[in-house]
Amino acid sequence: MRATTSLPGTYTTEYSLTLSNNLGLNIKLNLAGLVLFIASGYAFLVAAIHLSPDFTRSGSVYLDGWTILEGLVVALGALVLTGIVHEAIHGFFFWIFTKKRPIYGFKVIFAYAAAPDFYIPRNQFLLVGIAPFVIIPLIGLALMPFVPLAVVLTLVFMLTINAAGAIGDLYIIGLLLTKPAQTLIRDFGDGMTFYRPA
């Protein structure tokens, strides 16, 4: 099956999900994201300790007001950059499967990439959904042995934010894995509809 702009006549709507006005789901996803933030932060920090030679060579760290301010600025920049890269990877895979430029947007609590004109088969959508969760850590971990400690710590933060920010993607992937491979998905950015053969 391939992504198509026309819903086959044998398909019918099975399930619709909207994130922007689903308070209960958003609360659950944010709580799960917090747990994932803590767990992935610990895991990436342990990985950095083992991968970065600077961790074993570094001595004590002195923090003053200026250093803390610099750290906050770097963290904010890393947060924004991580969100952009995360959604760009989603968009790249949308483009691979649709051959059309995806749309990008931002709601109050999340950014998104979407291909609202297309009905995308489940297996392709699984790749779209999981790609940033896999690709960004692979790149970040591969860089850790070769960059200074300050960059390693920034990478740990970015990888942690990426993992926690992917909680919505992981939720959708979990839903899709309960659906047959023939399922089609139309993604509107802040929500999606699943379609199944009648």
- Is 93 in contact with 135 (CB distance < 8 Å)? no
Instruction: Summarize the confidence of residues 67-82 as an average pLDDT.
Output: 86
pLDDT tens string 38-68: 999 999 999 999 998 877 665 555 555 656 6
Domain ranges for the chain: 11-55+62-197
Per DSSP, 44 falls in state H
Per DSSP, 102 falls in state P
Query: What is the value of pTM for the model shown?
Result: 0.90
Burial of 57 (0-12, 13-18, 19+ CB in 10 A): exposed
Residue 153 CA, chain-centre distance (Å), reads 20
Instruction: Summarize the confidence of residues 144-170 as an average pLDDT.
Output: 93
pLDDT tens string 125-136: 999 999 999 999
pLDDT score of 64: 58
